[in-house]
Chains A and B, each alone.
Chain A
Amino acid sequence: DVLMTQTPVSLPVSLGGQVSISCRSSQSLVHSDGNTYLHWYLQKPGQSPQLLIYRVSNRFSGVPDRFSGSGSGTDFTLKISRVEPEDLGVYYCLQSTHFPPTFGAGTKLELK
């Protein structure tokens, strides 16, 4: 299975600040069709995960442009600018290039 390593595990932030979360895969996530199937989810406290970014850098419907994704190959980053209270929770990356799909262990974004 592809191992997804997220860093940091915990990320203290001040409201209005900017943060970056890293997700590294144990092998390249470039699919034979040329796409890279790396996605980001946010799980707010007591809620289900919600899709933020799909295929590295595409914001899902309704996701504010404060969220941006980048990266290639095995190294990916989620950047959140102007952090708001509703951004707090656990962020997960997911790869679906290789079978089986695997999630990172999560990064908890919390207030400083």
Chain B
Amino acid sequence: QVTLKESGPGILQPSQTLSLTCTFSGFSLSTYGMGVGWIRQPSGKGLEWLANIWWDDDKYYNPSLKNRLTISKDTSNNQAFLKITNVDTADTATYYCARIYRPPFDYWGQGVMVTVSS
């Protein structure tokens, strides 16, 4: 059974760094072709892809945020991470992680709400 769960700080101030963790089970990020992606959704709005990391440590970032994003993984502990630097109120959203295998984003976590506020 594939499960994913996101965790994060809940609230942070503008200019801080947002650190998110995706803890998953039922698959391994060391499996050929496996990946994990991050997607976010401002309240009441649509979905925005942020970044993917693959089994071979290949990484892809949304160009619109590329300079602010860092994705990484800890294969041994079944975790993936996303950092977003210099946050502002526009980064307020629910952040999801999702597995990527043959179809993309086939399993999603429940999401974690992040609020950026002074």
Interface pair B62/A51, CB less than 8 Å apart:
no
Indicate if B55 sits at the interface (CB-CB under 8 A).
no
Instruction: Kindly list chain A residues whose C-beta atoms are within 8 Å of the C-beta of B63.
Output: 100
Per-residue B-contact encoding for A75-112, CB less than 8 Å = 1, 0 else: 00000000000000000101010011111111000000
Question: Which B residues, 37 to 95, have Cβ-Cβ distances below 8 Å to chain A?
Answer: 46-49, 60, 62-64
Indicate if B104 sits at the interface (CB-CB under 8 A).
yes
> Which residue of the partner chain, among B47, B60, B109, B111, contacts A103 with CB atoms under 8 Å?
B47
Q: A99-B60, A100-B62, A100-B63 are in contact. Are A51 and B103 (CB under 8 A)?
A: yes
Interface pair A101/B49, CB less than 8 Å apart:
yes
Chain B residues engaging chain A, CB cutoff 8 angstroms: 46-49, 60, 62-64, 96, 102-111
